[in-house]
A = this chain, B = another copy of it.
Amino acid sequence: MARGFVTAEEVAKKAGVSRSAVSRTFTPGGSVSKAVRRKVLKAAQELGYRVNRLAQGLNNDRSNLIGVVGANLSSPFISKQLDLLSIGLLRRGLQCLLLNAADARKDIAPLIELLFEFRAQAIVVLSGEPPASIVDECIANGVRLILINQRLDRTDTNMVLSDDSHGADLAAMRLVAAKCRKVAVVSSGSQTPAQLRRAGAFTQRMTVEGIEVVPWSGGPTSYDSGYQAGCELLADKSIDGAFCVTDLLALGFMDAARLEMGRRVPEDISIVGFDDIPQAGWKSYQLTTVAQSFDALTEKVLTALDSDEPETRLQVVPVSMVERITAR
């Protein structure tokens, strides 16, 4: 072998036992005598033996690999999610095979197919919507698929998502309480389902309340897009409230309002965001926002990994309003 890893065979020889004795020593619950175990452990130690998980997995058809696909890994929201998820997986003895889709919309299907080839036991999709054919293939191959903040219209997939519409409702009510008359709702140009749900529910509620809403969307989901939205929207002096479907957008919007368009926040305009990313709490912003619970989201994903209850398919995680200072 080119690469120099020691095999169980070599350990067996050195320890003067059979190859299966070695295997048993490293298998939890394998029946080996103290004496043999000790010899094996000693030899393994000296040789620097490491079990080959690939071979192990090949044998009992479980790779221990959990595929994670996502895009935009450096955004505060996704990276936080990934952080918690990868820690949680490791804690459960699972490994995280991370595939980064440069473009969420297009690249996701081939990545999932790649994960099949690695025999991932389960696949977690952080962002992007897998096509139906792929979902079918997951089912067919017994690979559990877990979608985050993505609602597909089928009952055979695991989905865990924040309660977007309720969150949007909270945001709406908050702006009503702030006595806004005309509010902007800003989302990015990449209309993800979650963003659509938020904007939709918000608009609907505001309409019921008889408050005029002016929609804006454009660019990627970023600070800059929010900034641009602010610059464009606030040319209209009568807008006195804004719901940004993402904190990142809200932060950009807020800076545009204060620093570019001469508005005071919240005196002249009330701003509410969604997500509660760390930056929303920074002293320069103190954004009032609808918080997703990262911990709860992650927890649900982790449990969805093994639980087989059908009623567990769709998990809606509650959101909550974080009152800071950007809404009157």
**A: which residues have CB within 8 A of B?**
1-5, 48, 50-55, 57-58, 61-63, 65, 68, 72-74, 76, 79-80, 82-84, 86-87, 90, 95-100, 102, 111, 113-114, 116-119, 137, 140-143, 223, 227, 251-252, 255-256, 258-260, 278-279, 282-285
Residues of B within 8 A of A52 (CB): 58, 117, 119
Residues of B within 8 A of A143 (CB): 3
Among the listed B48, B50, B53, B97, which residue makes an inter-chain contact with A95, where contact means beta carbons less than 8 Å apart? B97
Shortest CB distance A285–B (Å): 7
Residues of B within 8 A of A137 (CB): 48
**B117→A102 contact, CB < 8 A:** no
The 9 nearest A-B residue pairs measured at CB = A79-B79, A86-B100, A74-B83, A73-B83, A255-B283, A98-B98, A74-B80, A284-B284, A50-B116
Shortest CB distance A17–B (Å): 21
Q: Are A119 and B53 CB-contacts (below 8 A) given A96-B100, A142-B2, A255-B284? A: yes
Among the listed B54, B102, B227, which residue makes an inter-chain contact with A54, where contact means beta carbons less than 8 Å apart? B54
Shortest CB distance A258–B (Å): 8
The complex places the Cα of A99 from the Cα of B88 at a distance, in Å, of: 10
**A54→B58 contact, CB < 8 A:** yes
Residue of B nearest to A279 (CB): B279
